[in-house]
Structure 1
Amino acid sequence: MLETNDLRLFDEVAREGSFTAAAELLGYTQSAVSRRVAALERAAGGPLFVRLARGVRLTPAGEALRRHAVAVLDRLDRAQEELAAIHRGSGGTLRVGAFATANVSMVPQALKTFGERHPGVEVRLTEGLSGRLLDRLDAGALDVAVVSDYPAGLPSAAQTVLLLEERLLVALPSGHRLAGREVIDLRDLAEETWIEAAPRGQPTILTAACARAGFTPRGGLRVAEWTGKFGYVAAGLGVTLVPELAAGAVPGDLVVRPISEEGPRRKVYAALPEVPLPSALALVGILGQ
């Protein structure tokens, strides 16, 4: 078997054309280089050098081996450089997952700053529901996931870092009877139809908040995407919760109002694998600023 160290020594001898010169550069004795070259020739099945009165030159077999040795050593050197960059957090690929409303502004702004600070890292982004992102993280398909506990908690034991806690606002049609209020009491929404993403009957942050306010929210249409929810609210078919992160994306024909103190809140986390990449930790630091 041809060993990497032997290939490096072989390449140095070929470059210098001398066992003695290669020995001086590598810090070996001339006899040690001769022994290792002889062992390499036995492993290669025949002579690799023609011994001359002054120095050596490659045989045809030596020329062939050197072409392959140079390619192998170059690939190994590049692999070491890439690994070093990954461990420094300055290279490699960072696979990021984020739920939809985090992609309105929070994640894009963080990735912009991250790209300025770590230009050698290639970022790949996946959007999805928090539960699915955590499954992908657990499966090793993501390096960091931005997730929330809305609507039904955080269904994973992943290592998490709390990024923020935000209010959930209510989106109403512009002509709604409560649209003129600065703050809305959740109890005043007891007769409203709620447009949600969670399956009917599943406990959510909304149902918990409404229970504290003394009523059960009236379920309506189930719509997963925020843009779809806005369309149904605009049509007067119900009201919906809007995270503060997404408030800037609400269409102009709707109004968004904060809910009084008993209103629902959610937490946003960065989830990481047990052994996170340095680049993932760097991004989490930016997200948490």
Structure 2
Amino acid sequence: MPETNAFDTGALRLFDEVARSGSFTAAAELLGYTQSAVSRRIAALERAAGGPLFERLARGVRLTPAGTALHRHAVAVLDRLGRAGEELAAIHRGQGGVLRVGAFATANVDLVPRALKRFVSRRPHVELRLTEGLSARLLERLHAGALDVAVISDYPAGLPAEAARAVPLGEDRLLVALPAGHRLAAEPEVDLRDLAGETWIEAAPRGQPTLLATACAAAGFAPRGGLRVAEWSGKFGFVAAGLGVTLVPELAARAVPADLVLRPLMGTVPVRRVYAALPETPLPAAQELVEMLGEWDVCTTVSPT
């Protein structure tokens, strides 16, 4: 019955060295074995292979046809294992492999791209894969092992208990986007109560919680419903046409067209908190990216008066 462990990597390395050197004695000296130990390991390989792998000569040994065939495979296996070891070492040093990053949509406007730009300049050999989605779904993927880091927010339901390894990145406040000719466009700040009679351009279906509804409730009124447009670019187009106003998270401020007026809101306005979530055993590359995300410094694009 063949010896199931005869083709382990140690035996293949020994076999390769004997084949290269043409000598049991030389291979034993190079690898730190005794000659008898080399002979026993090669004999075990030959039993597993079903026949001789070396011809024993007066001086040294040489491969048989079966030995030549096995040596070709052994070299390929040892090469693949060597490259695998190099790749794993690179991953553990944060210098190679794949980094799977998840983020919610508005984080991908500026926060994540800026951090990834720096990351790529420092770790050019790490392959990046990006997933966009809602924070709850991103956390599910993180816990399932499908993501290495997730940029999430506590909106609308707060930070889940399972997000224990969530690193705070900052707060994302609300701004209001107005058409250029709006009566409040010249104000440095806008009181949300002064917009109580405006038509609001929203994205979420009716009945779902929104930052707009929360903010307006805190200001003492219910927002007047208007057109519902899912994409940010579409919402900005309707605002530019004078068909309404909309709220914009500060994270998305850089996506606002120059022909709109963007203003901060005065008073107590709801904010959402942004985090980077990591698995229990994070990759060094993921930790490094989180450090770069933590240098977030929102620079709001506020239109001139």
| Deviation of the 1:99 alpha carbon | 2.5
Aligned residues: 289
Aligned partner (choices 200, 203, 211) of residue 205 of structure 1: 211
Question: 1:9-65: CA deviations, max 9, x gaps?
Answer: 100111111000000011111011011111111011110001111110000000000
The AA in structure 2 aligned to 1:123 is L
Distance 1:157 1:254 in 2: 40
Deviates more, 1:200-209 or 1:88-97: 200-209
Distance 1:150 1:194 in 2: 20
Aligned partner (choices 83, 88, 92) of residue 83 of structure 1: 88
Partner of 1:262: 268
Partner of 1:23: 28
Partner of 2:298: none
Deviates more, 1:63-72 or 1:242-251: 242-251
Structure 2 runs not aligned, ≥5 long: 296-305
Deviates more, 1:144-153 or 1:255-264: 144-153
SS of the residue corresponding to residue 268 of structure 1 reads strand
How much is the aligned-residue C-alpha RMSD, in angstroms? 1.8
Distance 1:69 1:198 in 2: 60
| Deviation of the 1:197 alpha carbon | 2.3
1:214 aligns with 2:191: no
Structure 1 runs not aligned, ≥5 long: none
Partner of 2:65: 60
| Deviation of the 1:194 alpha carbon | 2.1
Distance 1:140 1:72 in 2: 29
The AA in structure 1 aligned to 2:279 is P
Distance 1:124 1:196 in 2: 30
**Is the contact made by 2:200 and 2:245 (CA closer than 8 Å) also made in structure 1?**
yes
Cα 1:220–1:178 shift into 2, 3 Å: same
Question: 1:127-161: CA deviations, max 9, x gaps?
Answer: 33334433333333222122233455456733321
TM-score (norm 1): 0.93
Aligned partner (choices 250, 253, 263) of residue 247 of structure 1: 253
Cα 1:276–1:224 shift into 2, 3 Å: farther
How do residues 117-136 of structure 1 correspond to structure 2 at under 5 angstroms?
117-136=122-141
| Deviation of the 1:264 alpha carbon | 2.7
SS of the residue corresponding to residue 255 of structure 1 reads strand
Partner of 1:157: 162
How do residues 28-177 of structure 1 correspond to structure 2 at under 5 angstroms?
28-150=33-155, 153-154=158-159, 157-158=162-163, 159-177=165-183
The AA in structure 1 aligned to 2:40 is R
SS of the residue corresponding to residue 194 of structure 1 reads strand
SS of the residue corresponding to residue 173 of structure 2 reads strand
Distance 1:65 1:173 in 2: 75
The AA in structure 2 aligned to 1:175 is G
Distance 1:157 1:194 in 2: 35
